[in-house]
Amino acid sequence: MMEQKGRIFLILVAMVFHGTESFSDDDGPLVLDYYKQKCPLLEEIVSHNVEVAVFKDPRMAASLLRLHFHDCFVMVTLSLSLSSFEKRGGPSWDVWLGRRDSLQASFSGANQFIPAPNSSLEALISNFKQQGLDIGDLVALSGSHTIGKARCLNFRQRLYDVNFRGQYELYDKYRRYTSFRRILQSICPKSGRNNDLSPLDFMTPARFDNHYYVNLLQGKGLLISDNVLVTQDHEGEILKKVWDYATDEKLFFASFANSMVKMGNIKPITGNQGEIRKNCRFVNT
């Protein structure tokens, strides 16, 4: 089943790459109608297939969001169209196109720039700042964890680290965190079962909505990097945004779409600065 989902995903990506290598040698900025002249139906075809895949499996939406996030941060720049998550209740936004893949890839670079699931708030803010993103972008883009799943390996520390538990329980007046932790411990023991999955949002796991922020306020964020938005925000700026998004889904959607566009324009590689890879995993030979 997982192999089948992987093939579908690769097909969607390949549809964007195939036949586009000679579209343009310009080194200009990203544009909305990059494929309009040479392949006018490309965006429509990709958007349709993305919508179908997302409708069939909510994990595909999470995978596409994660791919876009990782590629923009590490600058291995796939020309992937993320045009709509409306099939899962989410917003839509215009996608600026024309990215090229870099001529090199770095595993260590990926580990350096991609925020870890146990990151502190200070580390998250610093990481986003390095990419030209501010605290508002951090809070809005964290909302992508309203959909998808995470491995036990990535949230085990959140369950068994005594220091973290003690820190969060200061905010747990109604014992919500303690009860939720017991549920998660049944999925993720102290050792083993590293690949067992838990929804990032237990309440509406297959829907893109603002429930992620409600979870944070109730002590039910899955990852440490989720919960620190509330527990380590001593100034109160982030907590205010969390409350705003928890009570106003339209505001969250608008902020999320704006931040996605902003993230998509992080140091894009265009024209002959890079290439369009025939195989996503390898530089062309």
Catalytically active residues, by annotation: 70
Selection from 96, 108, 99, 93 nearest residue 75 by Cα: 99
Q: Compute the distance between CA of residue 127 and CA of residue 218 in angstroms, rounded to an integer.
A: 26
Q: At 150, which helix (H) or strand (E)?
A: strand 149-151
Phi (first) and psi of residue 26, to 5 degrees: -65, 145
| Number of neighbours of residue 140 by Cβ within 10 angstroms | 25
Q: Check: CB of residue 82 under 8 Å from CB of residue 249.
A: no
- CA of residue 196 relative to chain centroid, distance: 20
Selection from 47, 41, 53 nearest residue 8 by Cα: 53
Q: Compute the distance between CA of residue 104 and CA of residue 80 in angstroms, rounded to an integer.
A: 18
Burial class (CB in 10 A: 0-12, 13-18, 19+), 243: middle
Rg (CA), the chain: 19
| Residues in contact with 3: Cβ distance below 8 Å, sequence separation at least 6, in sequence order | none
| Number of neighbours of residue 151 by Cβ within 10 angstroms | 15
Strand extents, DSSP E, the chain: 149-151, 197-199
Phi (first) and psi of residue 280, to 5 degrees: -55, -25
Give me 118's structure tokens.
């146990």
Phi (first) and psi of residue 275, to 5 degrees: -150, 170
